[in-house]
């Protein structure tokens, strides 16, 4: 997809004026946050599990080649075909080729952010293959011609009223409004699509090296119908999703839903090992697993390696005051929120994605709730350092910083200069105790007053009172 | 026994905007039996450079601060953000073989946020101060999440004669200051501080307190713009009974 991250500030303005979005964000704040806190509180070992999960992923990433090769071997032994894709173009080509061989006209899909990452739907459509999103949220988004605004709840910015309109327009049935009726209608509509599909495409939440299995997690059961009914199943996921053993996958599963939706466990967790065997009554005849790098291996051994621990739970965005103000679309690409602020510049380039790691107060809530203990603020700072080195920081900020730095590194000069400047500013603000407007300070004074300084610096007053100490 | 030698890192915002917070900190430390020095070599902790990715400038300022504060038993700052910079971030700036790495680690072990220093290190359980107010306390992000400052200010405030604490909703959510963030992304910052001010007013408090002047300037600025009667002060002023200076943004 064409990124709009560079227009972040305009995107934010639009989001702030979108009342439906703002009320959805307010609800998400209460819902996701409360549910996660309650789920964590119900499990005494939750914090210990986070430590164990971090250790597990760090180990796996340190031996990623080994575990990926082991996974490939086991998956192949079970009858799956493993494909390696260096980038988005290779992944699209591999998937299109499989679809072409299957003579596919229609493809069902369960929710997968990695398919968004490679722009799969557009590629399928261009090739004359109809992609049908089967996750309810994704279905709504697809009808609306939009992109997900949240990695778990892709359509949570869409009001119920709008869903009624979309369904009436695209399902060719009378408009319904009750949630039950809307659900029933979507279910009936999608049920036919499952049976018509030639290929089913899913993501994979985890890959298990020990068994060659993939793990799929949903709340709607749509991944099972997507993978199990067509003759061909393609699972696309990132190479960082591998874990050594079945037990390891369950360690992460115990954290995933609790951190994201606040459920103890998602409604459906399916482990898939190989295609349909001769004695099986159902299942796909072909099972393809496409493992995507797309820049992930470049993060190994760098300041961004910790990001590869991410299990895409969404906790960081659910707790981010910036995400909860701006919404997901403002980030302008596939991954929003703090995880997106770290990942997106890596995918679309720091020039294009320059706003995202800067649009953070470093409040640290994302790191506080990340089940994998990913130091998200630290990695956003890495991007800022990268930007500064590449001179992408705006000139006003650079010059301002240079002048400030000149004084900050010369304490005597700093104290001399600040004493004079503060005396002047104090005099100006003395009448009201605050400024409603100051030259060059509209960023501050646009929406708040600036409290006036007292007029003498602490250091000057202190020396006057106490002399040398 | 020799007095505990404490160096006050006054922080640039307190130095420039509100010296009364510095004097309140000195009073609290001296009342607790410390000998307080204000080293001359201090300016700013370096966060404006650090958070804009200017690592070279940050390292220069960190070295200057490390040198200025060597030799004291403790270094105390009336700010969780600046104390957090010295304690949690300076050690990350230097390679292990850099001679400043050991110095930064040493400074980190000696550095504390003011209120947590009083309670956690000096073991102070109450202060001798009085003020009639319903106060609500905003947990500034760095103090809370980097340094674990949460119960300490509430504990000491509960000993102030006449102060009743009224907790606001979302006390742990960022106020939208974020250093240069607030002027680089004013739309987001405004929304965040408006939400914060809504929670402050809903708490029924007539006094807003926090431990970081950056957050306080931001919240006071928004409260005053909205015409709110809620007074705003740094927690140290109330604990020390240093209340001669009008509340932040008032005359």
CATH code of the domain in which A118 resides: 3.40.50.10420
B148: closest CA of chain A, how far (Å): 12
Say yes or no for a CB contact (<8 Å) between A418 and B16: yes
Please tell me if residue A435 touches chain B, with a CB cutoff of 8 Å: no
Per residue in B148-207, pLDDT (tens digit) is 999 999 999 999 999 999 999 999 999 999 999 999 999 999 999 999 999 999 999 999
Tens-digit pLDDT profile for residues A228-240: 999 999 999 999 9
Grade residue A203 by pLDDT with cuts at 50, 70 and 90.
very high
Q: Does residue A440 belong to the interface with chain B, where contact is any CB pair within 8 Å? A: no
Asked whether residue A96 is domain-assigned, the answer is yes
| Residue A218 covered by a domain | yes
**Within this chain, do residues A423 and A274 fall inside the same structural domain, yes or no?**
no
d(C-alpha B15, C-alpha B1), whole Å: 32
| Best residue in B10, B13, B19, B46 for a mutation probing chain A (most A CBs within 10 Å) | B19
Residue A467 has pLDDT above 90, yes or no: no
Which residue among A381, A385, A433 places its CB closest to the CB of B250? A433
Please list every residue in chain A whose beta carbon sits closer than 8 Å to the beta carbon of residue B51.
362, 381, 384
**Is B186 in Cβ contact with A401 (below 8 Å)?**
no
> If DSSP codes are grouped into helix, strand and coil, which group holds residue A437?
coil
pLDDT at residue number A469: 56
Residue A445 lies in a domain: yes
Q: Please check the confidence at residue A28 and state whether its pLDDT lies above 90.
A: no
User: What was the pLDDT predicted at A360?
Assistant: 98
Query: Residue B130: CA atoms inside 13 Å, Cβ hemisphere, count?
Result: 2
Residue A261 has pLDDT above 90, yes or no: yes
Domains identified in chain A, total number:
2
Q: Do A457 and B15 touch (CB under 8 A)?
A: yes
Whether A246 is in a domain gets the answer yes
Q: Record the tokens describing residue A255, joined without a space.
A: 């954290």
Q: Do B218 and A13 touch (CB under 8 A)?
A: no
Tally A–B CB contacts below 8 A: 207
Residue A468 pLDDT class (50, 70, 90 cuts): low
The two tokens of residue B234 are: 């740094």
B10 vs A358, A388, A459: nearest CB:
A459
Residues of A in contact with B180 (CB under 8 A): 397
A349: in domain: no
Which residues on chain B are in Cβ contact (under 8 Å) with A13?
187
Torsion sign across C-alpha atoms B118, B119, B120, B123: positive
CB A335, CB A323: distance < 8 Å: no
| Lowest mean pLDDT segment, chosen from A389-393, A437-441, B65-69, B148-152 | A437-441
Is residue A285 located within the same domain as residue A152?
A: yes
> What confidence score (pLDDT) does residue B8 get?
98
> CA A106, CA A2: separation in Å to the nearest integer?
25
What is d(CA B197, CA B194) in angstroms, rounded to the nearest whole number?
A: 5
Nearest CA-CA distance, residue A367 and chain B, Å: 9
Q: What is the pLDDT of residue A1?
A: 80
Sign of CA dihedral A164, A116, A82, A291: negative
Judge residue B2's burial from the number of C-beta atoms within 10 Å of its C-beta, 0-12 exposed, 13-18 middle, 19 or more buried.
exposed
Is A100 within the bounds of a domain?
A: yes
Q: How far is B178 from chain A (nearest CA, A)?
A: 4
Q: Do A457 and B19 touch (CB under 8 A)?
A: yes
How far B60 CA lies from chain A's nearest CA (Å)?
A: 7
Mean pLDDT for chain A overall: 96
Q: Above 70 in pLDDT, residue A74?
A: yes
Among the partner-chain residues A362, A412, A443, the one whose CB lies closest to the CB of B51 is A362
CB–CB of B86/B53 below 8 Å? Answer: no
Query: Are A96 and A220 in a shared domain?
Result: yes
pLDDT, tens only, A331-365 = 999 999 999 999 999 999 999 999 999 999 999 99
Chain B hits for A9, CB-CB cut-off 8 Å, are: 185, 187
Point out the domain boundary residue: A231, A263, A297.
A297
Judged by a CB distance cut-off of 8 A, whether residue A318 touches chain B is no
Helices (H), B127-246: 141, 147, 151-157, 181-184, 186-202, 213-225, 235-240
For position B58, what pLDDT does the model report? 98
Record: contact B53-A386, CB cut-off 8 A: yes
- B145 interaction partners in chain A (CB closer than 8 Å): 363-365, 367-368
Look at A409 and B60 and tell me if their CB atoms are within 8 Å.
yes
In this structure, the strands spanning A450-451 and A434-435 are antiparallel
pLDDT interval class at B1 (50, 70, 90): low
> What length does chain B have?
251
- Regarding whether A419 and A293 lie in a shared domain, the answer is no
Question: What residues contact residue A289 under an 8 Å CB cut-off, 6+ apart?
Answer: A75, A80, A81, A82, A83, A204, A207, A214, A234, A235, A237
pLDDT at A440 over 90: no
- Residue ranges of alpha helices (H) inside A229-322 are 246-260, 296-299, 315-318
Establish if A274 touches chain B: CB-CB under 8 angstroms: no
Among A residues 84-123, those touching chain B with beta carbons less than 8 Å apart: none
CB atoms B52 and A452 under 8 Å: no
Q: Count H helices, E strands: chain A?
A: 22, 12
Chain B residue numbers with beta carbons less than 8 Å from the beta carbon of A23 are none
The alpha-carbon gap from B218 to the nearest alpha carbon of chain A, in Å, equals: 7
Assign residue B212 a region: left if phi > 0, alpha if psi is -120 to 50, beta otherwise?
A: beta
Q: Is the pLDDT of residue B104 over 60?
A: yes
Q: Are the beta carbons of A432 and B251 separated by less than 8 Å?
A: yes
What's the residue count for chain A? 469
Considering only the beta carbons, identify the residue of A16, A367, A457 that sits closest to B16: A457
What is the greatest pairwise CA distance in chain A? 92
Q: A356-390: buried (b, 16+ CB within 10 Å) or exposed (e) per residue?
A: bbbbbbbbbbbbbbbbbbbbbbbbbbbbbbbbbee
SS3 A109: strand
How is residue A437 written in tokens?
């407007």
The predicted-structure confidence for A268-280, as pLDDT tens digits, reads as follows 999 999 999 999 9
The distance between the two most distant Cα atoms of chain B, rounded to a whole number of Å, is 55
Q: What is the percent of chain A where pLDDT is above 70?
A: 100
Q: Which of B21, B64, B224 sits opposite A449 (nearest CB)?
A: B224
Residue A33: inside a domain, yes or no?
no
A357: its two tokens: 């790691």
Mean pLDDT of B65-94: 98
pLDDT at A339: 98
- Rounded to a whole number, what is the distance in Å from the CA of B35 to chain A's nearest CA? 10
CA distance B109 to B183: 33
What is the mean predicted confidence (pLDDT) over B4-23? 98
CB contact under 8 Å between A434 and B224, yes or no, is: yes
Of A59-68, A199-208, A231-240, A438-447, the poorest mean pLDDT is in: A438-447
The chain B residue lying nearest A323, using CA atoms, is B188
Q: Which domain holds residue A218?
A: 43-297
Contact B187 A13 (CB under 8 A): yes
The Cα A356–Cα A5 span in angstroms is 7
CA distance B193 to B170: 12
Is the pLDDT score of A439 beyond 90? Answer: no
With CA atoms as reference, the chain B residue closest to A386 would be B53
Q: Where are the beta strands (DSSP E) in A227-285?
A: 232-238, 242-243, 268-272
Helix (H) or strand (E) holding A71: helix A64-77
Residue A357 lies in a domain: no
Please give the average per-residue pLDDT across A178-187, as a whole number: 95
A419 and A293 assigned to the same domain = no
Cβ–Cβ below 8 Å for B190 and A453: no
Closest CA to B87 of B118, B57, B117, B48: B117
Task: For residues A358 and A338, give the distance between their C-alpha atoms in angstroms, rounded to a whole number.
Answer: 11
Q: How confident is residue A27, by pLDDT bands cut at 50, 70 and 90?
A: confident
A360 touches chain B (CB under 8 A): yes
Share of chain A above pLDDT 90, in %: 95
Task: Please name the residue of chain A whose CA is at the shortest distance from the CA of residue B247.
Answer: A433
Q: Which of B3, B9, B12, B16 to mutate to test the interface with A (most CBs of A within 10 A)?
A: B16
Residue where a domain stops, chosen among A267, A297, A327: A297
Chain A: residue whose CA lies nearest to B174: A363
Q: Do B38 and A397 touch (CB under 8 A)?
A: no
Minimal Cα–Cα distance from B176 to chain A, Å? 7
Q: Which two tokens stand for residue A30?
A: 């209460």
Q: Look at residues A260, A277, A297 and tell me which one is the last residue of a structural domain.
A: A297
A339 with A376: CB under 8 angstroms? Answer: yes
């Amino acid at each position: 997809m064409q990124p709009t991250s560079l227009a972040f500030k305009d995107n934010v303005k639009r989001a702030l004026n979108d009342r439906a979005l703002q009320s959805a964000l307010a609800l998400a704040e209460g819902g996701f946050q409360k549910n996660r806190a309650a789920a964590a509180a119900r499990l005494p070992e939750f914090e210990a599990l986070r430590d164990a999960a971090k250790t597990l992923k760090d180990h796996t990433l340190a031996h990623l080649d080994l575990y990926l090769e082991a996974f490939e071997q086991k998956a192949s032994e079970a009858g799956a075909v493993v494909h390696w894709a260096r980038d988005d173009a290779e992944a699209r080509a591999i998937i299109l080729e499989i679809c072409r061989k299957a003579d596919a006209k229609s493809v069902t899909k369960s929710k997968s952010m990695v398919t968004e990452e490679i722009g799969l739907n557009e590629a399928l459509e261009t090739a004359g293959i109809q992609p049908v999103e089967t996750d309810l949220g994704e279905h709504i988004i697809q009808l609306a011609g939009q992109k997900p605004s949240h990695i778990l709840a892709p359509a949570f910015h869409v009001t119920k009223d709008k869903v009624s309109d979309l369904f009436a327009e695209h399902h060719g049935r009378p408009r319904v409004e009750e949630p039950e009726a809307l659900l029933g209608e979507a279910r009936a509509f999608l049920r036919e699509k499952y049976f018509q599909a030639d290929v089913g495409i899913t993501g994979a939440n985890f890959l298990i090296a020990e068994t060659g299995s993939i793990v799929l997690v949903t709340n709607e059961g749509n991944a099972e119908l997507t993978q199990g009914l067509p003759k061909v199943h393609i699972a696309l996921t990132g190479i960082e999703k591998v874990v050594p053993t079945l037990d390891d996958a369950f360690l992460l599963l115990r954290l995933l839903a609790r951190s994201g939706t606040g459920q103890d466990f998602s409604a459906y967790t399916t482990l898939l090992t190989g295609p349909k065997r001769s004695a099986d009554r159902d299942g796909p005849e072909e099972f393809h697993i496409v493992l995507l790098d797309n820049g992930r291996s470049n993060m190994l051994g760098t300041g961004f390696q910790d990001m590869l621990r991410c299990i895409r739970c969404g906790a960081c965005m659910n707790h981010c005051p910036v995400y909860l103000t701006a919404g997901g679309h403002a980030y302008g690409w596939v991954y929003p929120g703090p995880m997106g602020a770290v990942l997106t510049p890596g995918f679309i380039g720091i020039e294009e994605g320059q706003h995202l790691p800067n649009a953070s107060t470093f409040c640290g809530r994302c790191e506080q709730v990340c089940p994998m203990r990913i130091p998200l603020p630290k990695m956003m700072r890495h991007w800022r350092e990268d930007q500064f080195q590449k001179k992408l920081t705006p000139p006003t900020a650079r010059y301002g910083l240079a002048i400030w730095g000149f004084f900050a590194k010369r304490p005597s000069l700093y104290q001399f200069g600040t004493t004079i400047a503060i005396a002047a500013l104090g005099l100006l603000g003395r009448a009201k105790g605050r400024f409603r407007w100051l030259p060059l300070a509209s960023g501050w004074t646009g929406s708040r007053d600036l409290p006036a300084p007292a007029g003498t610096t602490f250091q000057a007053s202190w020396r006057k009172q106490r002399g040398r100490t | 026994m020799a007095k505990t030698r404490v160096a006050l890192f006054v922080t640039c915002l307190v130095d420039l905007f509100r010296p009364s917070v510095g004097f309140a900190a000195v009073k609290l430390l001296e009342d607790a039996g410390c000998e307080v020095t204000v080293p001359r070599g201090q300016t700013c902790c370096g966060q404006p450079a650090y958070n804009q990715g200017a690592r070279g400038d940050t390292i220069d300022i960190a070295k200057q601060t490390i040198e200025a504060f060597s030799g004291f038993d403790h270094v105390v700052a009336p700010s969780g953000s600046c104390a957090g910079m010295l304690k949690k971030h300076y050690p990350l700036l230097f390679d292990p073989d850099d001679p400043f790495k050991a110095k930064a680690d040493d400074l980190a072990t000696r550095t504390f946020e003011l209120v947590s220093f009083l309670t956690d290190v000096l073991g102070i359980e109450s202060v001798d101060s009085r003020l009639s107010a319903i106060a609500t306390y905003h947990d500034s992000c760095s103090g809370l999440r980097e340094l674990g400052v949460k119960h300490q200010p509430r504990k000491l405030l509960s000993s102030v004669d006449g102060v009743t604490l009224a907790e606001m909703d979302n006390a742990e959510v960022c106020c939208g200051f974020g250093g240069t963030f607030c002027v680089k992304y004013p739309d987001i910052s405004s929304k965040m501080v408006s939400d914060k001010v809504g929670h402050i007013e809903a708490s029924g408090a007539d006094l807003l307190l926090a431990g970081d002047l950056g957050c306080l300037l931001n919240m006071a600025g928004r409260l005053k713009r909205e015409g709110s009667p809620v007074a705003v002060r740094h927690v140290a002023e109330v604990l020390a009974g240093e209340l001669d200076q009008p509340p932040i943004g008032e005359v």
